[in-house]
Structure 1
């Protein structure tokens, strides 16, 4: 009998240790409720047709604090938002969307009906559960954000989904078997990395139904690398990558070995999470490489094994073979993320033998920000098709696509007019 008790003790101790090392829910708080009527009114004010973005539910928004892993394997806390349709039947099982947001450098994150949170609300209003990780180091999380670092981005997403799985019984939510992943800009890269990571290492735990990465820098060491050496709308992205990868890989002992004066002293305080990317962009040269020491640039160009270049390759996410459907959305006039990222990813995945990847050129005239809303609409129609029984996904109803096309044409005309006016103003200045 003593042996039986001893074995039971060992098993129990093992289970407790396993649980203590597993990232779990720390806390949750209901922080906002959007009523169906208020959302319908908001959509009406913004000219969003109910036929394109139906509002069928009110929504509760929870802020979640949970445990995840820092790049060295230690346990830290991260945060995220959870959007839950609330006026459902008790028996209703809902699909899950893991939404990955775009580049954010300010640590603080408010809960508001705007920006990419409005995208999450749009999904939830039509019956999707939506998990929105802040990533590591943003929101109310610990440490610093590791920009475009695939392992921690993917880990933050998986651990939020694990925390939500623990939370759902407490708030009376039942999830079905459909799991989608999407995101825009950095979120496109994070989505692709999440899907790739799950397929390669966590497919026993997570069953992805489909993903839709949108306008992401998938080929960091190839296509997106070109932005370093020419006039670029967002030169602040490059130091963000350097600071993040320096934290993980430890290229140099001192940051002044990377950045030339005066940027070796100007830049570090700007990336503490209190300034916007727009503010940073205005303080540094428009050609990103011009903040870097010339000898570092020369080494980067001459040596394929240069540490930063190797880090970019390691965190590129275009070269793999998806085993679940993938929809890549992009706009050709994107000034922040080269549309060629999507083309390269699509062609490489097809070359690797994937028959489940498809590509959607949303519009040739829309820039990065304007492209987002329409890319999301195509993504939602793609996801909706799985809810209706499709196995590989489709483009959605013709009527919806027609209405979206009208909206795209209107916004594209305004975008072209803005570009003409900017070009005329620049010509006048010269």
Structure 2
């Protein structure tokens, strides 16, 4: 896309085009990584580069939000939404690196949703793949990486930043972190808010279903779906989240409320997590609790978020503060996308983050 083409394309879906300075070229990479059991596999992702004269490019890693359908991942999605943040950062002069995560896009198998360890390895290996690929275009990537992401990708961005700060790659270093509207504390914030009916009922059904089916594959939460899901949903719910069912079809097939979805055992599992489920939730929450960021960081949220409870951000800020890190929380104001404030946070947050990263890189 030319610069004007990028402006028109972004604006067509409500994304802010003010940061556009350059045209862009986008590439899909398929690369080696590891799965949740540390076995070799492949994954895909999007790399977007600016059409400018820079030979060394500053890098932004962007973690996308939740999708359950393989074809909605950034490197394959036909719409603006999936790749707009990548185009925004590249058009501002960065090399944008956008992993699809495991099991989405062209990746084999089923996506392990909300599994921060595999989101981290997929994101780090995507950076390594981009480092190998970009020289084919006559450029190189600088060592410092800016990490950001939306919703599910907010935790992925924190996981990647932690890995980079801990030196898990000999080349890359984290420069700044800017997660947007994340679900950082499923145990203490997100699950209780869904069960209390404080969030969008239908989407709470989808997130609860996705969590239980995905984490059952990872952690063995139940033996049969009928243990935790009521019929007629028990016989269909795992199919809805195997990557082959479009999102709208999945939503139409699920009930409108959690009361219609879960059995007493399902409610008990969410209300009082124990065993492997509790341990996995603790690992999920470590993105805010188990490390001390030593780089500039901001948390972005939208008030009255109907999908990711704002308590997630509050708890993350408190946890970081207890480790001596005072992180500013930026309220993105009243912005919606498709009638959802949560999705609007991605649009407004991307616009704010690209300006902040651009200022830090001068």
The 1:318/1:289 distance shift into structure 2, 3 A limit, reads: farther
Counterpart position of 1:226: 192
The 1:300/1:131 distance shift into structure 2, 3 A limit, reads: closer
Structure 1 CA distance, aligned partners of 2:10 and 2:231? 49
Structure 2 CA distance, aligned partners of 1:308 and 1:246? 9
Counterpart position of 1:305: 274
Segment of structure 1 superposing worse, 65-74 or 357-366: 357-366
Structure 1 CA distance, aligned partners of 2:16 and 2:81? 18
Residue 83 of structure 1, aligned match among 39, 48, 65:
48
Partner-residue secondary structure (3-state), 1:78 = strand
Counterpart position of 1:106: 69
The 1:94/1:233 distance shift into structure 2, 3 A limit, reads: same
Counterpart position of 1:265: 235
Relative contact order, higher structure (CA 8 A, sep 6+)? 2
Counterpart position of 2:179: 213
The 1:305/1:197 distance shift into structure 2, 3 A limit, reads: farther
Counterpart position of 2:37: 72
Counterpart position of 1:238: 208
Per-residue CA deviation, residues 26-85 of structure 1 (Å, 9 max, x unaligned), is xxxxxxxx12232244467678776x32x3222111110101101111101100111011
Aligned-residue Cα RMSD (Å) equals 2.3
TM-score between the two structures when normalised by the length of structure 2: 0.88
Partner-residue secondary structure (3-state), 1:153 = helix
Residue 345 of structure 1, aligned match among 273, 295, 316:
316
Counterpart position of 1:202: 168
Structure 2 CA distance, aligned partners of 1:49 and 1:252? 44
Structure 2 CA distance, aligned partners of 1:46 and 1:258? 38
TM-score between the two structures when normalised by the length of structure 1: 0.75
Structure 2 CA distance, aligned partners of 1:365 and 1:47? 10
Deviation at 1:105, TM superposition (A): 0.9
Residue 374 of structure 1, aligned match among 337, 348, 353:
348
Structure 1 CA distance, aligned partners of 2:7 and 2:49? 17
Partner-residue secondary structure (3-state), 1:342 = helix
Structure 2 CA distance, aligned partners of 1:124 and 1:263? 42
The 1:289/1:166 distance shift into structure 2, 3 A limit, reads: farther
| Higher Rg of the two aligned structures | 1
Partner-residue secondary structure (3-state), 1:209 = strand
Kept in 1: contact 2:15–2:84 (CA 8 A): no
Deviation at 1:98, TM superposition (A): 0.6
